[in-house]
Structure 1
């Protein structure tokens, strides 16, 4: 009876952990989509390497979402094959997450360069860009209260006088407020967008790493419970 009770406890713990895995998978999908959208829409970062980590997050989230099915059903029905499949797939997921962590670390080291190059391209394309493109660049500067890449002087090629910036650089945005005011700290933000955006992205990457560590711990616990239940089922103990 002691063994039966212990296996029954493991059974329900595995079922409970799979409900958590299901939520974790959903969370990873949402986080991956948010990171991808923020990188490529809000900041218009087009470096292919920037997509690596969020795409892996979305892929891992989808897999966890469906793998949780094997864990739940296998635990509830005490099906050895399903529990084994769950344990193997979850082990592969952990390996994929290690790969994502490495990609995230590499991307973190390249973050400053990627932001610098992307913002420089944005400024260079602004003058002849579409209305939608200009609106996106303006939104970045208005939302983050910044101007240019490293300073407002980055807009020196924006107009023929070399002293005009887009109106979105202004502290109080009004029509033509940036004309001839590039270096006027009372009218135009002098701080560039690079440092602000880089700090924001690094802060969010740190939160993603923390979340990944928590999820990895839960997954390891899930594998341990799955192995215990597999051992109990294979030994022929009644766990109903």
Structure 2
């Protein structure tokens, strides 16, 4: 007779379905764990490369876009690792934690979509503030510069609302002493390539001084907020389909995890 009393759940007969659920969950979560580690590594590499942890820069780390990658990678790695280990080790607690976290994540995504739809004006204001902040730090942060350039070149736009928004940048401000004064970045230009081969980084110089009729042949006049809205409207079917597929796959994964849990023996310890 022992002092430690152990109660074990009667183990069900293991079937093909149990093995299928177990290794399916393991492989899927292993892949996403690796993806999460890559995203986390890229984020940390970006922060370290830019010396964002230095004393003089630590105050603005909250606005660093690399922090988004770090947060996303950390959440993805933690979530998928619990599902991966829980599946291969048949750990009841980890599987329960994983399925609960997935359901919470799905609920949060649905609530975020509802809030974004019902608070469209506020979301637009947040996007405007974020883009203006990125434009103000255009020369100082390579990541923000890359993101801004990609948005402007792909959506064929300039600034948040219009090309005059570049006045917010100290280098493109019309009162600035440099050659960039009253200009816009080359990604605002209609044709930034000379003869189709050479990138002309000075094509937007002095563009803010031009009237709209003259400027329209040199740069894109429309702002990127309007471009983003048009892009969403043009691809709303694809966005909706992808969202539904993601939600359905998350729910299915949580359901599979709960189904696997019915086959997993666990121990309840009474001291």
- TM superposition score normalised by structure 1: 0.62
Determine whether 1:222 maps to 2:263. Answer: no
Q: Residue 220 of structure 2 aligns with which residue?
A: 189
Q: Is the 8 A contact 2:32 2:77 kept in 1?
A: yes
* Stretches of structure 1 lacking an aligned partner (at least 5 in a row): 36-45, 75-81, 235-240
Q: Residue 165 of structure 1 aligns with which residue?
A: 183
Relative to structure 1, the CA distance from residue 8 to residue 26 in structure 2 (aligned partners, 3 Å threshold; closer, same or farther) is: same
Once the two structures are superposed, what CA deviation does each residue of 1:125-167 show, in whole Å capped at 9, x if it has no partner?
Answer: 55xx538589544554334421111112334572159x94314
Determine whether 1:11 maps to 2:18. Answer: yes
1:67-86 → structure 2 map (5 Å cutoff): 67-74=83-90, 82=91, 84-86=92-94
Relative to structure 1, the CA distance from residue 47 to residue 195 in structure 2 (aligned partners, 3 Å threshold; closer, same or farther) is: farther
Q: Residue 154 of structure 1 aligns with which residue?
A: 165
2:140 to 125, 130, 141: 130
Give the 3-state SS of the residue equivalent to 2:15 in structure 1.
helix
Q: Residue 63 of structure 1 aligns with which residue?
A: 79
Relative to structure 1, the CA distance from residue 71 to residue 148 in structure 2 (aligned partners, 3 Å threshold; closer, same or farther) is: same
2:102 to 94, 115, 137: 94
Q: Residue 58 of structure 2 aligns with which residue?
A: none
Give the 3-state SS of the residue equivalent to 1:7 in structure 2.
coil
Relative to structure 1, the CA distance from residue 213 to residue 165 in structure 2 (aligned partners, 3 Å threshold; closer, same or farther) is: farther
CA distance in 2, matches of 1:133, 1:14: 41
Q: Residue 125 of structure 2 aligns with which residue?
A: 113
Aligned length in residues: 209
* Stretches of structure 2 lacking an aligned partner (at least 5 in a row): 1-10, 44-61, 193-199
CA distance in 2, matches of 1:93, 1:62: 10
Once the two structures are superposed, what CA deviation does each residue of 1:181-228 show, in whole Å capped at 9, x if it has no partner?
Answer: 36221111011112334666897975466324312212212211321x
Q: Is the 8 A contact 1:29 1:57 kept in 2?
A: yes
CA distance in 2, matches of 1:5, 1:166: 69
Q: Please identify which structure carries the higher strand content.
A: 2
